[in-house]
Amino acid sequence: MDFRRGGKNNTSWKKGKGSIMDIRGFLGLLEENEELVRIKKGVSPKFELSAVISTIQRTTNKAVLFESVRGYPHKVASNLLGNHRKLSMALGCSPNRILKTLVERWGLTKCVQATAEEERTVFIDDLKLGECLPMIHHYEKDAGPYITGGIILAKDPETSEGNLSYHRLQMTGKDELRLRITPGHHLGVYFEKAEKMGESLPVAILIGSSPAVMLAASANLPLDWDELAFAASLQGEPIGLVGCKTLDLSVPVDTEIVIEGEILAGIRKPEGPYGDWLGNYVPVTDNHVFKAHAVTMKKSPIYYTILSGSPEDILLLGLPTATSVFRGIYKVVPTVRDVACWPFLFHCIVKLHKTAEGQAKQAAMAAFGANMEWIKFCIVVDEDVNIYDSSDVFWAIATRCCPERDVIVIPGIPSFRRDPHKIHWGRVAIDATAPLGLENEFERKRIPGEEELRIEDYT
């Protein structure tokens, strides 16, 4: 499959104006920019596929496309948003303007009903998910195959506002999936309303979505916002929608695979263990049950999977947190330049143009206030530090932080809900900015011309 010829709108990446691309167009863009690895050798969906993804992420960290997965006709993609360069390509901006671009597009654009639907393969009768979709086993002690790149699209049963959200989905039967819904999150609110009415909640699971839909699904938006409309705002154009076959729901017309069904009211079944983003296994718990009614897919569909806890997973989890933190700090210290929740979700790195002593500590406190769930360590650095490079951040700590003056430990603050042993209680703020008035002493050495040098010109 040559994405550069066959992708939809695959050349429409316009820097600073968003991106109007489906997943095929984005794969084509990644390939043109040497950010895609094609795996031509056939791989097993049980552990081998995940092992290849993990190895690539630990080395080149490029996107990966498996052209042959044993037992299935599908191509499988992963790590499409595994670093900030690929993310900036999806948004059509430079890597140092990702958060500012998201904030600038923090509006809503209407979606449109598609006038025509692409021809799709439809499975309804005698549905067998294990034959329709690759059954990917990711980690050794996972309870079985999981769908990890699926986005659940649902509507509030009272207001009809739409929501997009990621959920792990354990494949447990020919037409059954099991999933965890976090109480209080938007899908949890929707399901609780439906269950109180004695009704199941109709949902569609989107696999292989556009970059804009993927990013919108990870966003932390107000309850009365529609994530599909936000996705349209991110790409700068309305999203075409098409009706489902068995549900009163409309889905993005360019989605590779759609599973239609409902989350069953009054039913919970054991789900797990599962290799979680924290790096260990979530134990078996009684969770929600999804019953599939139909599967529709494009011709030669591309299946999308996310390796839990990988750079891609952490970036998708951390981006909405970083955005809310940036907005929170800006209210207190308007000279904030950038924020990254990287290389792990509990870390928050703040880039600041410091104009007065104490501002770095103010920024750290504002960061904690903006997100009381995830941020455990906040490190504030100067503008000359690359916050997407861990070694550069640790260099700033090592050379600009006075431990007895610039490290603040705040005890006794609870963190996220799934923390029964209080391992993640407390906060640590680190001021790794240089003292004002000593700029000459803290000026970083540089080699003129190094930034523009291309090593290919010398080989």
State the DSSP H helix or E strand holding residue 131, giving kind and residue range, or none if neither.
helix 129-132
Helix (H, G, I), strand (E, B) or coil at 25: helix
CA distance 261 to 153: 11
Mode of pairing for the β-strands spanning 407-410 and 427-432:
antiparallel
Report yes or no: 340 and 113 within 8 Å, Cβ to Cβ: no
Angle, to 10 degrees, between the axis of helix 211-218 and the axis of helix 227-235? 130
Q: How many helices (H) and strands (E) does the chain have?
A: 13, 23
Do residues 9 and 23 touch, judged by C-beta distance below 8 A?
no
Alpha-carbon distance of 207 to 151, in angstroms, equals 7
Cis peptide before 420 (omega within 30 of 0): no
Q: 74: closest CA among 179, 208, 246? A: 208
What's the one-letter identity of residue 61?
N
Long-range contacts of 1-10 (CB under 8 A, 24+ apart): 1/75, 1/300, 3/27, 3/28, 3/31, 4/28, 4/31, 4/32, 8/254
Q: Count other C-beta atoms under 10 Å from residue 69's C-beta.
A: 21
Q: Which of 224, 276, 382, 389 is catalytic?
A: 276
* Alpha carbons 311 and 270: distance in angstroms, whole number: 28
Residue type, 97: R
> What is the Cα–Cα distance from 148 to 166, expressed in whole angstroms?
8
3-state secondary structure of 318: helix
Residue 63 and residue 79 in contact, taking contact as beta carbons nearer than 8 Å: yes
**In 10 A of CB 275, how many CB atoms?**
22
Residue 313 annotated among the catalytic residues of the structure:
no
- Catalytic residue ranges: 276
